Amino acid sequence: MNLYRKIILLSSICLSVQCYGQVVPDTQLPKIPATAAACCNNGSCCTGTETPAGIMTDHIHSKGEWMVSYTYMNMLMNGNQTGTSKTSDAEIYNTYMMAPQTMTMQMHMLMLMYGITDRLTIMVMGGYNYCSMDMDMPAMIMNGAPMPASTMYCTTSALADTRIYGLYNFSRRARYKLIGSLAVSLPTGSVTCKGTTMLGTNERMAYCMQSGTGSVSVMPGVTYVRRYEKLALGTEALADIKLNDNKAGYRFGNEYRENVWAEYRFLNFLGGTLRAEGVQTDKISGTDKEISTPINEMSDPTMVSSHYGAARCNIYAGLSFHLKKKFTERLRVQLEFGMPVYQNLNGPQMSQQANILAGIMYGFK
């Protein structure tokens, strides 16, 4: 796993530097003008982003320019998996009393960006999470009495963690961007969400049902985007490093992510995107004593901290709408749908099936 992580990060950084070195000598590419209006007209900043809905660090803004955006994400998980193999309910019942069936994770994200200079932008991102999960329990004998098969439903909802970014564009050319990013994630989300478990209706929910991490994180990254007449290519490498155990006594695993994408302009107002994403999430360290009780760990695999962490590869396809008219010049709408093509899970844990993203952004002075 460590080798896999290093290869991902080093390959993305090397690709960015190599592409940057190849493009710099091209004196035919115009430099970004100093004025904010010209910057926007060249598409090097403002809302003229050439990336899919799932990419947030692909552009900066001219000095004094604002951008606000809303993104909705819906992730569906279904069935269970250990390593790269499916795990049946019958196998789970050999160890646990319940087997997770489906889980939906919805996130509403608001983002605000502001250009401090023509090359430096700050970004603040916050959101609200909603999770729902259903679990099946087979018929059994408990305390000498027969119990019929049943299904348990549980939900949680709360604020997510808040992220504050600094984005700096190292390029002075209009047709490509090399952006370094550094963020701090603040633990505004909850790690004490309660709901229905085997023990009652107001109990501490599993780790995957919490809305935040409870830890402060640093998130370094690098993003490279190259624009052509109708085509844009990009790559991004990001890390999410947790700095401390949360107040519940554990720490979610660090996350390492790389994206490679392409966008093609079919029409003046319509583009199509294709994105490949690799994600490695480390295991949880420590445990929450209210979650990992003996009865919880005997009944529910989602309550076991060692069942977290994974390596995944996802493929996304999307659409990008940008109508260059008087009242819509600064408005952009993005849609994206993704599915996993590879999952290696520390299980048994639920496997991802689909992910939908929809976003709208608007820039203004």
- pLDDT of 268-286, one tens digit each? 899 999 999 999 999 999 9
% of the chain at pLDDT higher than 90: 75
Q: Is the pLDDT of residue 40 over 70?
A: no
User: Which pairs count as long-range contacts for 18-22, CB under 8 Å and 24+ apart, including other chains?
Assistant: 19/176, 19/224, 19/226, 20/170, 20/171, 20/176, 20/178, 20/224
Give the per-residue pLDDT at 325: 80
Q: What are the backbone angles phi and psi of residue 25, rounded to the nearest 5°?
A: -65, -10
- What mean pLDDT do residues 217-243 have? 96
In whole angstroms, give the CA distance from residue 111 to residue 327.
21
DSSP 321-360: E---STTTTTEEEEEEEEEEEEEEEEEEEEEEEEEEEEEE
Q: Is the pLDDT of residue 23 over 50?
A: no
- What is the set of domains in the chain, with CATH numbers? 2-364 (2.40.128.130)
Give the per-residue pLDDT at 37: 38
Which residue from 3, 104, 86 is spatially nearest to 343, judged by alpha carbons? 86
In whole angstroms, give the CA distance from residue 91 to residue 36.
61
Range of weakest confidence among 29-43, 99-113, 228-242: 29-43
pLDDT tens string 136-159: 999 887 777 777 888 999 999 999
In whole angstroms, give the CA distance from residue 87 to residue 54.
30
Cα 103 to its chain centre, rounded Å, is 17
Alpha-carbon distances of 95 from 80, 89, 220, 296, rounded to whole Å: 14, 10, 40, 12
Give the per-residue pLDDT at 49: 61
Give the per-residue pLDDT at 224: 96
Q: Is the pLDDT of residue 248 over 90?
A: yes
Helix (H, G, I), strand (E, B) or coil at 49: coil
**What stretches of 188-248 show up as alpha helix (H) in DSSP?**
none
Range of weakest confidence among 12-21, 262-271, 286-295, 319-328: 12-21
pLDDT band, very low/low/confident/very high, at 45 (cuts 50, 70, 90)? very low
Q: What are the backbone angles phi and psi of residue 219, rounded to the nearest 5°?
A: -135, 85
pLDDT tens string 156-193: 999 999 999 999 999 988 788 999 999 999 999 999 99
Which residue from 104, 105, 103, 101 is spatially nearest to 135, judged by alpha carbons? 101
- Structure-token pair, residue 24: 């710099």
Range of weakest confidence among 9-18, 79-88, 341-350: 9-18
Are residues 31 and 176 in contact, defined by beta-carbon separation less than 8 angstroms?
A: no
Cα 241 to its chain centre, rounded Å, is 14
Q: Is the pLDDT of residue 6 over 80?
A: no
- What mean pLDDT do residues 254-275 have? 95
- Structure-token pair, residue 318: 């999307």
- C-alpha triplet 108, 99, 130: angle, nearest 5°: 10
Helix (H, G, I), strand (E, B) or coil at 269: coil
pLDDT band, very low/low/confident/very high, at 35 (cuts 50, 70, 90)? very low
Give the per-residue pLDDT at 42: 37
pLDDT band, very low/low/confident/very high, at 334 (cuts 50, 70, 90)? very high
pLDDT band, very low/low/confident/very high, at 2 (cuts 50, 70, 90)? low
Q: Is the pLDDT of residue 72 over 50?
A: yes
Range of weakest confidence among 71-75, 228-232, 280-284: 228-232
In whole angstroms, give the CA distance from residue 52 to residue 121.
20
Q: What letter represents residue 147's amino acid?
A: M
Q: Please classify residue 303 by burial: count the beta carbons closer than 10 Å to its beta carbon, then call 0-12 exposed, 13-18 middle and 19+ buried.
A: buried
- What mean pLDDT value characterizes the chain? 88
In whole angstroms, give the CA distance from residue 362 to residue 283.
38
Q: Is the pLDDT of residue 317 over 60?
A: yes
Give the per-residue pLDDT at 31: 45
Give the per-residue pLDDT at 141: 76
